[in-house]
């Protein structure tokens, strides 16, 4: 076991204080959106001995990963992050495993550099993810059931959004109607999209409050203020609005159209940086690819609540699993594969064999599969990123 130093990603939507204050270091003044902990080639983490985690694993994969993970994946299959959003991220979706491989190979053949701003697929992996809130957290997550979305747009009737309502009333299954509506919105000419976005803001501001759509209506103007004229303002009204309290989590599978809006959390995902964007961003947007990967089947996002001193969140994928531990005194946990552990409160001493590390808030450690079980002592909160066992 060794302490692990991650890489800060300074994306424009990042919070300027949260990660720095979590780690008790001076605020830099720059947006600090994500702290990456893992082996992704875009931002590999560094061990105390100076090696990158990727190099350490490559030097002895069986010891680092264990036989099962080494045989199944050949690498660390997950990427952990501390995420801190001060403003909305792009509306985006993530590909399935087959879509990721196909897209990655296609862009390689096209000669698009891996670090090109016009690149969509930066690796051949899918990107399911789970976010556990550390602060109150707001997000758009998957398509709302069609009956409810029709009810919402009925509140906005006569506001310049009538054609959206007409498309939502069209024939077909729920998924087909939502897919047709989404495609019409994101493929509309820029001037039409701007008119729709402005109409949505005006309608949302005048719509009655006191019902299930208050959060969706309230966020419309906030999103539009950051991205004026972006039709993504209207697309966001098709999506579930999810509010998480600290220690609540939600899982997002392949094809889930979503946008994190505000808040901080521990995010765990497959080892991928494949983001297919459709709006609300100055970054590369690929509408055709977005429409090919998004699943428009309505969902009711399952909000998971951490309960008890040890809780494992449900993530129905084989690459990762996230657990939250409350440490008060001495306890232990068994190690059956590679882990990254992250402290978010207090100070916790972790011992694995002859190695030990004391972690404060925002600090992390690499726990190799071969090191044996761990003991933990002190007082605080510890998150464990492990391999899934489907």
Which residue matches tokens 């008790």?
Answer: 24
289 within some domain: yes
List, for residues 353-366, the tens digit of each pLDDT value. 999 999 999 999 99
First to last CA, the chain: 26
pLDDT in tens, 288-327: 999 999 999 999 999 999 999 999 999 999 999 999 999 9
> 191-249 pLDDT, tens per residue?
999 999 999 999 999 999 999 999 999 999 999 999 999 999 999 999 999 999 999 99
If asked whether residues 211 and 357 sit together in one domain, one would say no
- Helix ranges, the chain (H): 18-22, 53-59, 61-72, 97-109, 146-155, 162-168, 174-186, 190-206, 214-226, 232-235, 287-293
Phi–psi pair at 367, nearest 5 degrees: -120, 105
Maximum alpha-carbon separation in the chain = 70
| Rounded average pLDDT over 55-67 | 97
For residues 218-230, one letter each, b for 16 or more C-beta atoms within 10 angstroms of the residue's C-beta and e for the rest, the string is: ebbeebbeebeeb
23 with 124, same domain: the answer is yes
Answer yes or no: 277 catalytic.
yes
Which residue out of 144, 277, 324, 384 is catalytically annotated? Answer: 277
Mark whether 278 and 378 lie in a shared domain.
no
Q: What percentage of the chain reaches a pLDDT higher than 90?
A: 97
Domain count, the chain: 3
Q: What CA–CA distance (Å, rounded) separates 157 from 330?
A: 60
Please give the model's pTM, rounded to 2 decimal places: 0.95
Q: Is the pLDDT of residue 59 over 80?
A: yes
Tokens for 216, please give them.
Answer: 């969706």
Report pLDDT digits (tens) over 93-147: 999 999 999 999 999 999 999 999 999 999 999 999 999 999 999 999 999 999 9
Does residue 293 lie in a domain region?
Answer: yes
Residue 56: give its domain's CATH number: 2.60.120.10
For residue 87, is it within any domain?
A: yes
Rounded distance between C-alpha atoms, residue 337 and residue 372, angstroms: 9
Per the listing, tokens 């897919």 go with: 179
Range of the domain at 327: 323-386
Question: Model confidence at 88, in pLDDT bands (50, 70, 90)?
Answer: very high
Q: Supply the mean pLDDT for the chain.
A: 96
In terms of DSSP bridges, do strands 239-244 and 276-279 run parallel, antiparallel, or are they unpaired?
unpaired
SS3 label, residue 103: helix
pLDDT exceeds cutoff 80 at 179 = yes
Q: Is the dihedral of CA 55, 349, 335, 311 positive or negative?
A: negative
Residue 238 included in any domain: no
Contact 258, 269 (CB under 8 A): no
Parallel, antiparallel, or unpaired: how do β-strands 310-312 and 355-359 relate?
A: unpaired
Domain boundary among 161, 194, 227: 227
Give the per-residue pLDDT at 390.
55
Map tokens 């039709």 to a residue: 231
């Amino acid at each position: 076991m060794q302490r692990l130093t991650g890489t800060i990603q300074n994306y424009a939507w990042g919070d300027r204080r949260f990660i720095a204050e979590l780690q008790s270091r001076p605020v830099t003044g720059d947006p600090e959106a994500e702290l990456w902990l893992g082996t992704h080639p875009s931002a590999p983490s560094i061990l105390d001995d100076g090696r990158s985690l990727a190099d350490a694993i490559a030097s002895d994969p069986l010891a680092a990963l264990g036989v099962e993970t080494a045989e199944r994946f050949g690498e660390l299959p997950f990427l952990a992050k501390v995420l801190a959003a001060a403003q909305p991220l792009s509306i985006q979706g993530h590909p399935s495993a087959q879509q990721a491989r196909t897209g990655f190979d296609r862009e390689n053949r096209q000669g698009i550099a891996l670090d090109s701003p016009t690149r969509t697929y930066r690796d051949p992996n899918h990107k399911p993810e789970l976010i556990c809130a550390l602060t109150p957290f707001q997000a758009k997550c998957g398509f709302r059931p069609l009956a409810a979305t029709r009810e919402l747009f009925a509140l906005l009737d006569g506001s310049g959004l009538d054609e959206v309502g007409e498309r939502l009333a069209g024939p077909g299954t729920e998924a087909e109607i939502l897919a047709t509506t989404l495609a019409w919105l994101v493929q509309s000419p820029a001037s039409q999209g701007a008119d729709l976005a402005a109409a949505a803001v005006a309608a949302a501001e005048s719509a009655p409050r006191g019902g299930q759509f208050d959060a969706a209506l309230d966020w419309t103007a906030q999103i539009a203020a950051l991205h004026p004229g972006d039709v993504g303002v209207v697309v966001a009204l098709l999506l579930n609005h999810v509010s998480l309290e600290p220690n609540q989590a939600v899982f997002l599978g392949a094809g889930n159209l979503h946008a994190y809006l505000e808040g901080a959390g521990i995010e765990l995902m497959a080892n991928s940086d494949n983001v297919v964007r459709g709006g609300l961003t100055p970054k590369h947007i690929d509408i055709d690819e977005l429409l090919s990967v998004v699943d428009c089947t309505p969902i009711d996002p399952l909000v998971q609540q951490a309960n008890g001193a040890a809780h494992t969140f449900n993530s129905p994928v084989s690459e990762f699993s996230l657990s939250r531990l409350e440490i008060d005194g001495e306890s232990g946990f068994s190690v059956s594969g590679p882990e990254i552990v992250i402290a978010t409160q207090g100070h916790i001493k972790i011992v694995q064999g002859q190695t030990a590390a004391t972690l404060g808030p925002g600090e992390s450690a690499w726990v190799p599969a071969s090191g044996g079980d761990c003991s933990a002592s002190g007082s605080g909160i510890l998150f464990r990123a492990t391999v899934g066992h489907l």
